[in-house]
Amino acid sequence: MMDRQIIRPVVCAEMLRANLTYYPEINLSAANNWIIMGNVGSGKSTLAKVMIYMISRFPNSKTFLCDAKYDDFRTLDGLTHYYPLDSYERGLSDFGVILENRLIGNDLNRSMCWIILEEWSAFLSSLPKSRRDAIMEKFIRYAMLSRSFNLHIMVILQRADARWFDSVRDNFSVIALSNLSREAAMMFGFDREAMRPVFGAGAGHMIINGNSGAQQEIVVPRVDMPQLDEAIKRYFMNQ
């Protein structure tokens, strides 16, 4: 596996205030699983699109996109690897097949592979408890095993609640758009004292692998949505 897989999806807010556009690097080999959280309209899906675009540039990368809302990603309708609404669980299973095959050695391929869980809490809330428990079990397994096989999870949700992550919170890096509650900040190891209030879509904080010393305020760059949607659609058509 490559030991450095760099993307640069956000800019440093502090430097932006000094009129400098600086894109800190994120090494996906070290920080393989991500949570994107924030209020409605805070720019989560947009950031996910920016990240998907950057993922699409890694050779032979695959992305399974589960989407409980079928709203921001409608342009992907009908494409393989896009799992809206009732097909959400099928996306999880298809990703699971790749994981299990790499695990038992049937698949020696280590190309980058993502599962994106859009509106994760909305999806889980919609399930009866028994199904939810079964899915959480899968999720925990994926989160624990993903890293060694160049597999990656991106969870997108409005409010972080411990039960949507269970024991595997520590396996995630976080970009929190909009302002966090004290509980949510604590849960992911943010140093709340060092967080400034943020305003507007795309503004928030990032913490990599729970390292609050490296926590930083970030901004998602303004994107041209139709262009970005088009690029992502092309990726899904070809992957």
Ligand X SMILES: Nc1ncnc2c1ncn2[C@@H]1O[C@H](COP(=O)(O)OP(=O)(O)O)[C@@H](O)[C@H]1O
Please tell me whether residue 222 binds ligand X under the rule CB under 6 A: yes
Minimum Å gap between C-beta 40 and Mg ion is 7
Q: Which stretch binds Mg ion (CB under 5 A): 10-18, 38-46, 107-115, 217-225?
A: 38-46
Residue among 58 and 164 whose Cβ is closer to Mg ion: 164
9: nearest Cα among 238, 221, 225, 168: 221
Surface-to-core class of residue 197, CB atoms within 10 Å of its CB (0-12 exposed, 13-18 middle, 19+ buried) = exposed
Residue among 42 and 63 whose Cβ is closer to ligand X: 42
Q: Which stretch binds Mg ion (CB under 5 A): 36-44, 60-68, 177-185, 191-199?
A: 36-44
If binding means CB under 6 A, how many residues of this protein chain bind ligand X?
A: 15
Contact 177, 220 (CB under 8 A): yes
Please tell me whether residue 158 binds Mg ion under the rule CB under 5 A: no
Those residues with Cβ within 8 angstroms of residue 73's Cβ, 6 or more apart along the chain or in another chain: 45, 65, 67, 82, 84, 118
DSSP assignment string, 123-145: HHHTS-HHHHHHHHHHHHHHHHH
Please tell me whether residue 129 binds ligand X under the rule CB under 6 A: no
Q: Which stretch binds Mg ion (CB under 5 A): 24-32, 40-48, 132-140, 210-218?
A: 40-48
